[in-house]
Structure 1
Amino acid sequence: MNQPRSNAAQETVDRVRQALGQTAAAPTRPNPTAGGARREFDFSSLPEYEILKVWKAVGDLTHISNPFYRLHDGRASNTTSIDGRTIVNFSSYDYLGLNGHPEVAAAAKAAIDRYGTSVSASRLSSGERQVHRDLEAALARLSGTEDAIAFVSGHGTNVSVIGELLGPEDLIVADAVIHNSIVEGAKLSGAKRILCPHGDLDAFERALRLNRARYRRALIVVEGLYGMDGDVPDLAGLIRLKRRYNAWLMVDEAHATGALGATGRGIAEEQGIDPADVEIWMGTLSKTLAAAGGYVAGSRALIELLRYTSPGFVFSVGLSPPVAAAATAAVDVMMREPERAAALRRNGRSLLAKARSRGLDTGLSIGASVVPVIVGNSGQTIMLSEQLLKRGFNVVPAVFPGVAENQARLRFFVTSEHTPVQINSVIDAVAEELPSIRSNSSIVGAIVGR
């Protein structure tokens, strides 16, 4: 049951609506031809833009800064600098502390000296360089596969690969909380799409049993470590399903590389799986590997096919040489120093245990590189992020529509470089701030109609 608004809360709601020129009545869509106006060319008139204006007005009136697009002054690590102030950072993906590592930085600088900052063409035409081949060989070794191919965008990798390999005659069965890039690739393909409840292997089996026979090809897609929840799939169970129903299995290792397995090789190492039992391994260069871009690893036939048919590769410029060289060096350091992965797991488990000991909801996280603290209300989550920043911690919220409103959360990205003091202090701060926020957040909730 909704609680009645206090006078102060109602006054703030009215002030926001007045600032936005709103009335209590629902806004109507503008008539594009009324009075000769051509409003269809005015993006500020779109309902989506009106939502942004509401949130900005809420922030202005409640003195809560925008938690997104904060300007950082230097290198992302376990600390960062915002407005010249050193902040403990739990919102970057430098899982093994390789961003700025001397070998990684030196490799990037040497590549600039030899190749410049761009290869200035697609690799298919005249952009191929040895630095690309070195990276792909390193990625294949890391993944335990025959070959690999590197793309300029991690998001674009999934969109382009899924969009090219599947078509309207095919079936895609994916986890309901799969990354947006996979969702967009599935849409592009035109294939029949079925989303199964998160982690529900029975639902995957049911979807395949009831639908597989009607489609030419089938693809099962999961994440090796889920970036929103911090949990893992049952890979052996999925392999049994894909064999039973003659489907391909694709695993997105974006958050798993560096975080899972004794040496950080990912979920196959973590769960004792032969990498050859998975047809398509996808990963990103922008997290553990301290660069930018994405890759696919798998059989030589798959990689050769993608080299000549995947639009995101064929029609895109090749990876920037310093980026490719940095990622190659990061793979080398990671494989040579498995103690980095071990330190990350210790820190992840420590943060998870500390959060649970303080009564915080960490959902399904196993305590690897991603640990959520679920607040369950977007406004409160944003307010909590603001209070943590004031106390010296950068933890960016995940709110509706990125997650369901009752699943709004802070996501803690843990690295091998975080210290016990940093981990304990941030969880203490969350546990201290959250009760007060929950008891005094009626204004934000009232404004957004929650």
Structure 2
Amino acid sequence: MSLTKKGLPGLSASIKDKLIQQALERKLRQAGQEPPSRTLFQSSARKNAIPEEFYRFDLHPGYRQLQIMNEGAARMGVRSPFFKLHEGTAGADTQIGGKSYINYASYNYLGMSGDPVVQAAARQAMERYGTSVSASRLVSGERPIHRELERALANIYEVDEAIAFVSGHATNVSTIGYLFGPRDLILHDEFIHNSILQGAQLSGARRLSFPHNDWAALDDILTEQRHQFERVLIVLEGIYSMDGDYPDLPRFVEIKRRHKAFLMVDEAHSLGVMGKRGYGIREHFGLAGKDVDIWMGTLSKTLAGCGGYIAGEHALIEHLKFLAPGFLYSVGMPPSVAAASLAALRRMQDLPERVATMQARGRYFLETAQAAGIDTGSSTGYAVVPAITASSLKAARLSASLFEQGINVQPILYPAVPEKSARLRFFISCLHTEAQLTRTVAALSALLQNGH
């Protein structure tokens, strides 16, 4: 008999609805599916019984929260600091709204974005291969420039091979999401990047964080937890993008070996920034490439492109090339982007003075800011220096006031960081002059002293 109200004569409407609901739930369970929450079933099966917020984006909780935040900022006279329209190459200087600004909001650490040699390499690749490879690399999107870039990256780390993805965020999501599963454990620094968290969630592995840069706490967790899981992954960053500090990597290498775990280091902000030649945290500590199982980095900072990479042993890279969804099912990197990043990498090797200048400018800015009484947290001066305000509103107002003085620096607000950790974040490049850095610290110090 059909489960309709017409096929159940003699029963009240409410009883009929209940019987229909129970029958549907039984069918779902028989099919191995969990029935929807009972709160979704109303006294009537009519469409208009579904709450509007379940089918309208303008009532989505995330959008409504965004509206509340924007309305609150408007009432306090704070303009949005986001989506500023840069009208040219963003280096130590930039053009916004026809005006020139000292720029601290770009990752162009070695000035490679806008470098004539890098731009020429991109143009030549585009003219030879087109603007797109128009396919996944596995099927017909492979080009010589991809392999050249990957060989050069592998050589930097002194490992077998490397693989380049079209997105830095997707590199972490796809690599971690694919390699690990429900029987595994992922341990990460509490300040790790969102892409790591998303990858861990996709994997289904158990995820635990440990206090920032606290290798002893990690050791304790592994001592207690390691034997409950199959594979264990430890994830760190070379330089933490919010704080500008770095881990004691040799300690973590020793711990991962003793507990037989994998170690992954995200070098998005440390390649080109740490080490005498800019080879990253490995060079800084004098480690071998094989000391870390998974080297990850992005092409969008020092390397003036877009995308990400994984470098490591042959088995790891071959595995990812054929089975990682973010690589397998994605179009290959545009030739011009691969060529630009390869040229930037070679320029970094040919011009080590850029690395030295960037490191010197970072130290100068950090020391000058600290001397002015600005709270720079745990920054070591390697390209990233925060000015902690402990208030999102204060950070937004300081950013707006500095912008009026020709200085472009972005505020980092809650929920990107805890409210007590709200800050301005300064990215320092080799193109910044000491005069620009001095002027900036003086302007910020004056605002802070005047109660901004």
Q: TM-score, normalised by structure 2?
A: 0.88
Matches within 5 A, 1:140-179: 140-179=154-193
User: In structure 1, what is the equivalent of residue 257 of structure 2?
Assistant: 243
Residues 52, 59 of structure 2: 8 Å contact kept: no
Aligned with 1:222: secondary structure?
strand
- Contact 1:142 1:331 (C-alpha < 8 Å) held by counterparts: no
Given that 1:381 and 1:408 are in contact with CA atoms closer than 8 Å, whether structure 2 keeps it comes out as yes
Compute the displacement of 1:62 (Å).
3.5
Identity of aligned residues (%): 48
SS at match of 1:425: helix
CA distance in 2 between counterparts of 1:172 and 1:243 reads 16
1:15 counterpart residue number? none
Letter in 2 for 1:77: G
Q: Which amino acid aligns with 2:398?
A: L
Q: RMSD over aligned Cα, in angstroms?
A: 1.5
For residue 291 of structure 1, what is the amino acid of its counterpart?
Answer: G
Q: Distance in 2 between the 1:135 and 1:46 partners?
A: 42
Map residues 407-426 of structure 1 onto 2, 5 A cutoff. 407-426=421-440
Deviations 1:264-309 (A, max 9, x none): 0000101111121111000000000000000001111211111111
CA contact (8 A) 1:98 1:290 kept: yes
Q: Which consecutive residues of structure 1, in runs of 5 or more, have no partner in the other structure?
A: 1-30, 439-450
Match of 2:450 in 1: 436
Structure-2 separation of matches of 1:402 and 1:383: 17
**What SS is found at the alignment partner of 1:239?**
helix
Give the distance between the partners of 1:367 and 1:39, measured in 2 at CA: 47
Q: Deviations over 1:334-361 (max 9, x none)?
A: 0111111100000000000011001111
Q: Classify the secondary structure of the residue corresponding to 1:158.
A: helix
SS of the residue 1:126 aligns to = helix
Residue type of the alignment partner of 1:385? S
- The answer on 1:344 being equivalent to 2:344 is no
Please state whether the residue corresponding to 2:450 is helix, strand or coil: helix
**CA deviations over 1:174-231 (Å, ceiling 9, x no partner):** 1000000001101111111110010111110011111110111011100011111101
Contact 1:221–1:251 under 8 Å retained in 2:
yes
Cα distance in 1 for residues equivalent to 2:120 and 2:62: 45
Q: Distance in 1 between matches of 2:260 and 2:58?
A: 49
The answer to whether the 8 A contact 2:53-2:60 is kept is no
- Report SS of the residue matched to 1:367: coil
* 1:277 match: 291
The partner residue of 1:333 within 335, 347, 362 is: 347
Secondary structure of the 1:156 match is helix
TM-fit CA distance, 1:142? 1.8
The one of 227, 235, 244 aligned to 1:230: 244
* SS of match in other structure, 1:371: strand
User: What is the rounded CA distance, in whole Å, between the counterparts of 1:193 and 1:427 in structure 2?
Assistant: 40
> Which runs of 5 or more residues in structure 2 are unaligned?
1-41
Which string of whole-angstrom CA distances, capped at 9 and with x for unpartnered residues, describes residues 402-444 of structure 1? 1011000111100000000110111111111124345xxxxxx
The list of structure 1 runs, each at least 4 consecutive aligned residues, that deviate by more than 4 angstroms after superposition, is 31-37
Which residue does the alignment assign to 1:185?
199
- For the 8 Å contact 1:136–1:149, the answer to whether it is kept is yes
Q: Who is 1:91 aligned against?
A: 105
Bigger Rg over Cα: 2
- How does 1:18-29 map onto structure 2 within 5 Å? none
Which AA in structure 1 matches 2:94? T
Determine the C-alpha separation between the residues in 2 that align with 1:36 and 1:402. 33
Alpha-carbon contact 1:152-1:318 (below 8 Å) kept = yes
Secondary structure of the structure 2 residue equivalent to 1:361: coil
Distance 1:334 1:58, change over 3 A: same
1:46 match: 60
How far the C-alpha of 1:35 sits from its partner, in A, is 8.1
Picking from 152, 165, 171, the partner of 1:138 is: 152
Whole-angstrom distance in 1 between the partners of 2:196 and 2:432: 31
* 1:316-395 alignment, distance < 5 Å: 316-395=330-409
For residues 177 and 49 of structure 2, the distance between their equivalents in structure 1, rounded to whole angstroms, comes to 44
Any conservation in 2 of the 1:384–1:437 contact (CA below 8 Å)?
no
Per the alignment, in what secondary structure is the counterpart of residue 149 of structure 1?
A: strand
Aligned mates of 1:292, 1:371 — CA distance in 2: 23
Relative to the length of structure 1, the TM-score reads: 0.88
